[in-house]
Structure 1
Amino acid sequence: MRVDSHQHFWLMERREGQWPPPELAAIRHDFLPGDIKAHLSRAGIAGTVVVQSLPELDDTMFLLDLAGRNDFILGVVGWVDMKAANAPDRIATLAAHPKLKGIRPMLQGIEDVDWIDDPVLAPAVAAMIERDLAFDGLILPRHMAPLTRFAERYPDLRVVVDHGAKPLIAEGKFVEWRQRLAALAALPNVSCKLSGLLVEAGNQRPEAVRPYAETILELFGERRVMWGSDWPVVKLVSDYQSWLDQCLDIVPAEHHDAVFGGNAIDFYRLKPSR
């Protein structure tokens, strides 16, 4: 069973002054469940995990509402201000929805690189662990060391690195990224998403992502890597099927069941409709 571990929905009327900016015309319009169904059908994707894209509770509620009305949405990764005094209560309330599977603070947009490496997060993390929720790390390479310390502090929290920590592929920077990713991969509670790399490659040929994708597979192994489309963001450089086909070629065939479905089901505790 194939599962897309990372995709988005949004309405532009809810995003005034927010990303995406006008220059990203390919994705600056509404994206709703009806817009992805043809892609899923063609690709043989049975279900998806929808991830928040605004640091607002309303965005999470919007996604949970969509999930309640669309069986193919198997899980939602939402947002909570994890440092707020009421964070544990917020998490408990959201977790009452059976499709809430994780929480994602948008670390890449937080000016303080060490924001995540702060003991004040402990009550929120405890609430997540109690309700068997996962943590999505939306990070850039400069956040890898703080995220490593965070994951070390909470070994019972399932952590996944979104988009391979967004390596600077367009700049050809590899060595330091690999070293820092290896430190994350050494922690058994950390997984990694094979997603978003084409966007980081920019105008380079799609083949530029192969060394980075192969490194993710090498470091995390076939049981801790999960494929994600990052749709509709992938539309900036390619399309749903092309990115899937590229990854199917990179990942050894004997690991397809795990990377393209099984790992996401296990990590997010998904309950497929079939």
Structure 2
Amino acid sequence: MVIDAHQHFWQYDPVRDAWIDDSMQVIRRDFFPEHLEPVLAANGVHGCVAVQADQSENETAFLLGLADKHPFIKGVVGWTDLRDPHLRDRLAAYAAHPKLKGFRHIVQGEPDVNFLLGDDFCHGIAALAEFGFSYDILVYPKQLAATAAFVQKFPDHRLVIDHLAKPDFKTGELDEWAAYMRRIAQAPNVYCKLSGLVTEADWQHWQQEHFEPFLDVVLECFGPNRLMFGSDWPVCLLAAEYAQVKNIVTTYISKLSTAEQNNIMGGNAISFYHL
């Protein structure tokens, strides 16, 4: 089964979604399951994981509502305030939703590069583990030192790095990023998503070879059993169509065994998110 481990839905709101600036006109509209389902079918993808794009519990409820109505949405990664002292009460309520698989915070938007290491935030992550929820790590390379320390705090928790931690595909500079990714990957409970590639590249002029040195690093250090394909649809539409995004990954992993390719294209997501 082929699973897209990372995509989004939204009903566009110009105030809430102010991050979608004038350069992103193509995604300044609604994106619902009825828009994605035929795209997945055309690309041989059987299901997806819907990931939060807005930091509100309304967003989590919105995604769960969509997942309840559309069987192809296999899981949801939502948002809740992980620093809330009453978090465990919230998680106990969320545990009743079988399609809610984990949570994410937009750490890349936090001004403190050590945000992940805050005591209140780490207490929240520990609570997620108690309820069986995974955590998606969304960071920039400048936050990878903190990320490396963070994953050491949670050796038994299911953690996944979104978008390869957004390295600089435009310049091709990868040494410092690669050193941190290798350190992080030493923790066997940490996975990495092959997602968000084209949006961190030159939108108009990206090429397959721009990504391959970075993909080489994560394949080497995470291995084929801890990597997952994700489209980052509809954000990917800024730079590529869905088929192009999928093809970047399938072309790269074509050198691997069939079993390894199947794991990256779906099996690992099924295992990690308990789909």
Q: TM-score range by the shorter chain?
A: over 0.9
Gaps of 5+ in 2: none
Letter in 2 for 1:186: Q
Q: Specify the code of the residue in structure 2 equivalent to 1:48.
A: C
What letter corresponds to residue 220 of structure 2 in structure 1? E
Matched, 1:48 2:48: yes
Report whether the alignment pairs 1:269 with 2:270: no
- TM-score normalised by length of structure 1: 0.95
TM-score (norm 2): 0.94
Amino acid at match of 1:82: L
Partner of 2:156: 156
Give how far 1:74 is off. Answer: 0.5
Quote the residue 1:27 is aligned against.
27
Shift of 1:171: 2.4
Cross-structure match for 2:242 = 240
Please identify, of 152-161 and 80-89, the stretch whose mean Cα deviation from structure 2 is larger.
80-89
Question: Do structure 1's residue 171 and structure 2's residue 176 form an aligned pair?
Answer: no
Q: Write out per-residue CA displacement over residues 196-228 of structure 1, whole angstroms, 9 at most, x where no aligned residue.
A: 111111243242111111211111000000000
Measured in 1, the distance between the counterparts of 2:167 and 2:120 equals 28
The residue aligned with 1:103 is 103
In the alignment, residue 46 of structure 1 is paired with which amino acid?
H
Contact map agreement 2:116 2:122 (CA 8 A) in 1: no
What displacement does 1:55 show?
1.0
- Aligned partners of 1:198 and 1:206 also within 8 Å: no
Q: Is the 8 Å Cα contact of residues 191 and 225 (structure 1) preserved in structure 2?
A: yes
Tell me how far 1:63 sits from its aligned partner: 0.4
CA drift at 1:131: 1.8
Residue identity opposite 2:270 in structure 1: I
- Give me the whole-angstrom Cα distance separating, in 2, the residues matched to 1:91 and 1:109: 24
The answer as to 2:224 corresponding to 1:222 is: yes
**Structure 1 residues 245, 122: CA separation in 2 closer, same or farther (over 3 Å shift)?**
closer
CA distance in 2, matches of 1:245, 1:217: 17
CA contact (8 A) 2:76 2:101 kept: yes
CA RMSD of aligned residues (A): 1.4
Is the 1:160–1:192 contact (alpha carbons within 8 Å) kept by the matching residues of 2? yes
Structure 2 letter corresponding to 1:263: N
Pairwise CA distance, 1:15: 4.8
| Count of matched residue pairs | 270
Moved more, 116-125 or 261-270: 116-125
Matches within 5 A, 1:1-274: 1-13=1-13, 15-16=15-16, 18-202=18-202, 203-251=205-253, 252-254=255-257, 255-270=260-275
Instruction: Tell me how far 1:22 sits from its aligned partner.
Output: 2.9
Is 50-59 or 243-252 further displaced after alignment?
A: 243-252
Q: Equivalents in 1 of 2:166, 2:112: separation in Å? A: 18
Separation in structure 1 between the aligned mates of residue 154 and residue 123 of structure 2, nearest angstrom = 12
Cα shift readout 1:5-24 (whole Å, capped 9, x = no counterpart): 00000011375453212320
Q: CA deviation at 1:43?
A: 1.4
1:175, 1:122 → 2: CA distance? 28
Report sequence identity in percent: 39
